[in-house]
């Protein structure tokens, strides 16, 4: 009895939490004609016409450009955060360095509304010529990813016995050798988690994409919203739905493949942060 | 030494902007005079503090953060505990619950434009079918509540995930010991399990409050600043002051005020957490 109730509650929760995604998915398989008479959750004549149109390059819509931008900025945002965070995390985990000031400052970054840095960064990028570039947006997404990367990596390195470093030191290994040859392979799972989680976070970011890009470096989150605003006379809902599904698919697939690790890092980030 | 690249990066992309923020907040500046700001004292702060839009944005952010954090934690806690036996047995069931966390909030905002659309949206469609009527979801009176529901539905999984993990981490011996001592299920929950989960609940509530307080993406893509600015959060207020009005000084002064408020918040929370830890030790 209570078992059945659990399944029912679970089913309702999944339905309610994923409702916008389900509706969008359903709508993306409807023709414009069907949608106007049937906005419900079933499809009487499924069509892939919307997807064909989205995946065809036209003057109005080049989804590949948006996807490529998202892919590049999210990769920069995820990898640069790790490259910066890994040595620092090693220093923090293996010594007293940074525990007093650096760590709290970075972890608390999570609690600061990033919009307050957005305007000076906009002006700085204007001077540096980084506005509307993939590199510029990638650099800012690095900042977004840094707090969690640092926390996850410090925890992972602190879990390794320090005798490991000492043994390597006796064998004549320098700090960099220890870091890259001994520590790096051992914390590989944490590095992968940071990379995936950072990629998803950066892909899904919107505010900086909206402010710092206008044309050449527009990521798909912003591109999808342009599409809603620009189609004067009314939104083509089937087409818009297909754009959103295509844009939401990469992080969703990564996330579902790696949900255990991501859940773990969210929990760790929250509990230690 | 090893942290040098990180520190340089942070100084460049956060330290420098902070200095620019402070200088410009005290200056008279427009898009034309960006490079030569004229120091003008505290005028920008006066403009912000006397702007009723700023205060209504503060009120929106505060209310939105508190309400959504509370709702997310309560629903997440209920689901985590009630569904725990199911999720332990079939761990893959967690994946569909976590899916909302992988979708960009900006996209979710756009998706709700479809979901709530009066002609093509399923929610009004079914409401018409069942009740012959459907409320306006995004007018001045209702938009706030609609946004609260949108935010809560997307982020409840975060609270659920944290609480489920904390619930699982309670050792079985603790539960058994309590049961041997004659604790009822309700006592087990309220006297043993919830107190053990309290730190996690605090952390989840804090994180969700912060994210609700600084909300931008889903609100902006769903309704923008809303009818009559009724859904302008602080983030949207600052964004619009800068990009729509070109009031750079005002936007930056508002940024600094938000920065100081969050800094004060962090210090207070850190102090409270430290006191708790000292009391526990």
DSSP secondary structure, B35-60, as one string: TSPEE-TTHHHHHHHT-HHHHHHHHH
Which pLDDT score, from 0 to 100, does residue B261 have? 87
Task: Indicate the pTM of the whole model.
Answer: 0.91
pLDDT at res. A273: 47
Q: Identify which of B99, B110, B126 has the shortest CB distance to residue A244.
A: B110
Positions of chain B with pLDDT lower than 50, given as ranges: none
In this structure, the answer to whether residues A68 and A18 fall within a common structural domain is no
Nearest-CB residue to A116 (from B79, B165, B259): B259
- Residue A55 forms part of a structural domain: no
pLDDT tens for each residue of A95-131: 767 777 788 788 778 778 888 888 889 988 988 999 9
Smallest Cα–Cα separation from B218: which of B114, B147, B117?
A: B147
Handedness of CA A77, A82, A84, A85 (dihedral sign): positive
Give A88-91 contacts, CB < 8 A, sequence gap 24+: A88/A150, A88/B2, A88/B3, A88/B5, A88/B6, A88/B7, A89/A149, A89/A150, A89/A153, A89/A154, A89/A156, A89/A157, A90/A153, A90/A157, A90/A179, A90/A183, A90/B2, A91/B1, A91/B2, A91/B3
Q: Which residues of B touch A210 (CB under 8 A)?
A: 220
Spatial CA neighbour of B40 closest among B250, B257, B266, B271? B250
- Asked if A262's CB is within 8 angstroms of B106's CB, the reply is no
- A227 in the same domain as A97: yes
Residues A137 and A262 in one domain: yes
pLDDT tens across A23-45, in order? 999 999 999 888 888 888 989 89
Task: Give the residue ranges of chain A where pLDDT is below 50.
Answer: 231, 273
Domain ranges of chain B: 24-280
Using an 8 Å CB-CB cutoff, list chain B residues near A114.
214
Interface touch A104/B85, C-beta < 8 Å: no
Please tell me whether residues A76 and A165 are part of one structural domain: yes
Residues A23 and A146 in one domain: no
Give the pLDDT confidence score for residue B238 in this predicted structure.
93
Q: Count of domains in chain A? A: 2
Q: Which residues of B touch A87 (CB under 8 A)?
A: 2-3, 5-6
Residues A41 and A74 in one domain: no
CB-CB neighbors (< 8 A) of B83 in chain A: 6, 9-10, 13
Same domain? A34 vs A116: no
- A127 and A185 together in one domain: yes
Q: For residue B117, what are the contacts with CB-CB under 8 A and spacing of at least 6? A: A39, A237, B124
Are A31 and A76 in the same domain?
no
Give residues with Cβ within 8 angstroms of B132, minimum separation 6: none
- Compute φ and ψ for A16, nearest 5 degrees: -70, -45
Q: Which residue is closest to A23 within chain B, CA to CA?
A: B115
Domain B24-280: state its class: mainly alpha
B243 vs A21: CB contact, 8 Å cut-off? no
> Looking at this predicted complex, what is its ipTM?
0.91
Alpha-carbon span A217 to B46, nearest angstrom: 37
- Give the pLDDT score at B42: 81
Residues A168, A261: one domain?
yes
In which domain, by residue range, is A18 found?
Answer: 2-47
Model pLDDT, residue A74: 97
**What confidence score (pLDDT) does residue A14 get?**
97
The answer to whether A204 touches A251, Cβ cutoff 8 Å, is yes
Q: A11: helix, coil or strand?
A: helix
Task: Render the burial of B70-86: b for 16+ CB within 10 Å, e for the rest.
Answer: ebbbebbbebbbbbeee
Give the nearest partner residue to B161 out of A142, A254, A267, using CB atoms. Answer: A267
**Residue B108: what pLDDT?**
97
Average confidence score pLDDT of chain B:
89
Per the domain annotation, does A172 fall within a domain? yes
According to DSSP H, which parts of chain B are helical?
A: 4-10, 16-25, 43-49, 52-89, 94-102, 105-115, 122-131, 143-169, 172-180, 185-187, 194-213, 217-223, 234-243, 248-280
Q: Is residue A53 part of a domain?
A: no
Q: Tell whether A17 and A71 lie within a shared domain.
A: no
Which residues of A are less than 8 Å from B161 in CB distance?
Answer: 263, 266-267
**How distant is the Cα of B25 from the closest Cα of chain A, in angstroms?**
11
Evaluate whether residue A80 is within a structural domain. Answer: yes
- Residues 6 or more apart in contact with residue B106 via CB below 8 angstroms: A204, A206, A221, A222, A224, A225, B217, B218, B220, B221
| Whether residue A108 sits in one domain with residue A40 | no
């Amino acid at each position: 009895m209570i078992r059945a109730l659990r399944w029912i509650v679970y089913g309702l929760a999944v339905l309610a939490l994923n409702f916008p995604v389900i509706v969008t998915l359903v709508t993306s398989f409807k023709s414009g004609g069907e949608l106007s008479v049937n906005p419900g959750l079933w499809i009487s004549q499924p069509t892939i016409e919307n997807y064909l149109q989205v995946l065809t390059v036209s003057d109005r819509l080049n989804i590949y450009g948006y996807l490529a931008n998202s892919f590049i900025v999210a990769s920069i945002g995820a990898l640069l955060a790790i490259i910066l965070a890994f040595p620092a995390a090693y220093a923090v985990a293996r010594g007293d360095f940074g525990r007093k000031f650096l760590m709290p400052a970075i972890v608390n970054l999570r609690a600061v509304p990033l919009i307050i840095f957005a305007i000076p960064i906009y002006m700085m990028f204007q001077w540096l010529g980084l506005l509307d570039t993939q590199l510029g947006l990638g650099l800012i997404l690095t900042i977004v990813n840094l707090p969690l990367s640092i926390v996850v990596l410090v925890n992972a390195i602190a879990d390794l016995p320090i005798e490991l470093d000492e043994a390597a030191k006796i064998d004549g290994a320098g700090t960099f050798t220890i870091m890259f040859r001994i520590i790096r392979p051992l914390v590989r799972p944490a590095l992968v988690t940071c990379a995936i989680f950072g990629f998803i976070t950066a892909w899904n970011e919107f505010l900086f994409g909206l402010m710092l890009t206008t044309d050449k470096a527009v990521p798909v989150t912003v591109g999808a919203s342009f599409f809603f605003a620009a189609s004067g006379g009314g939104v083509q809902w089937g087409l818009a739905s297909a754009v959103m599904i295509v844009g939401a698919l990469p992080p969703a697939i990564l996330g579902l493949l790696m949900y255990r690790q991501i859940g773990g890092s969210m929990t760790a980030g929250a509990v230690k942060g | 030494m090893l942290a040098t690249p990180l520190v340089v990066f942070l100084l460049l992309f956060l330290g420098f902007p902070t200095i620019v923020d402070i200088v410009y907040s005290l200056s008279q500046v427009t898009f034309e005079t960006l490079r030569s700001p004229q120091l003008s004292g505290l005028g920008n702060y006066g403009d912000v503090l006397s702007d009723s839009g700023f205060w209504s944005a503060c009120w929106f952010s505060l209310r939105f953060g508190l309400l959504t954090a509370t709702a997310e934690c309560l629903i997440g806690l209920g689901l985590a505990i009630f569904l725990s036996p199911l999720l332990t047995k079939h761990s893959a069931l967690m994946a569909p619950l976590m899916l909302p966390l992988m979708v960009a909030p900006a996209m979710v905002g756009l998706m709700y434009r479809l979901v709530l659309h009066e002609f093509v949206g399923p929610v009004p469609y079914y409401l018409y079918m069942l009740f012959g009527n459907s409320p306006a979801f995004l007018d001045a009176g209702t938009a706030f509540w609609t946004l609260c529901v949108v935010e809560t539905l997307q982020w409840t999984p975060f609270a659920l995930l944290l609480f489920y993990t904390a619930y699982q981490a309670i050792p079985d011996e603790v539960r058994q010991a309590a049961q041997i001592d004659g604790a009822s299920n309700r006592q087990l929950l309220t006297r043993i399990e919830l107190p053990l989960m309290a730190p996690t609940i605090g952390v989840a509530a804090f994180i969700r409050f912060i994210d609700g307080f600084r909300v931008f993406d889903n609100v902006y893509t769903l309704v923008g600043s809303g009818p009559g600015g009724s859904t302008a959060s602080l983030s949207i207020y600052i964004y619009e002051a800068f990009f729509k009005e070109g009031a750079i000084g005002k936007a930056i002064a508002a940024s600094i005020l938000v920065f100081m408020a969050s800094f004060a918040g962090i210090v207070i929370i850190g102090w409270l957490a430290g006191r708790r830890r000292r009391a526990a030790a």
